[in-house]
Amino acid sequence: MVNWNNVKLVYGENTLDHIAPHKVSLSEVHNVLEGYFIPTRINVSGIIRYLILGESYGRVLIVILEPLGTNELLLITAFDAPDSKKNLYRKKTKI
């Protein structure tokens, strides 16, 4: 089980090259993980990953992470959430 308050994000140049066309920066990914987010466990071809729905500087993003160890998560990709997910996130964060 991931302790979301103590996550170590792992990434390489390939990952940064992969998120760049989505116009998402590494600082935005960190910002998502430091704020309120909705984690969902997903199965991708037998591999457990987490779909993280969160906000960074007004953008609602989806961040895909793969667990490597107890609190080490590999950044797979990050991109703007589709409207349906943005609406879900905004509904969940409404006070």
Contact assessment for residue 5 and residue 30, using Cβ atoms and an 8 Å cutoff: no
Question: What pLDDT, on a 0 to 100 scale, did the predictor assign at position 95?
Answer: 52
pLDDT of residue 35: 93
- For β-strands 37-44 and 8-10, DSSP reports them as unpaired
Share of the chain above pLDDT 90, in %: 80
- Going along the chain from its start, the domains and CATH numbers come out as 8-93 (3.10.450.530)
Three-state SS at 5:
coil
- pLDDT for residue 75: 97
Give mean pLDDT, residues 7-13: 93
Asked if 9 contacts 73 with a C-beta cutoff of 8 angstroms, the reply is: yes
User: pLDDT tens digit string along 44-83?
Assistant: 999 999 999 999 999 999 999 999 987 899 999 999 999 9
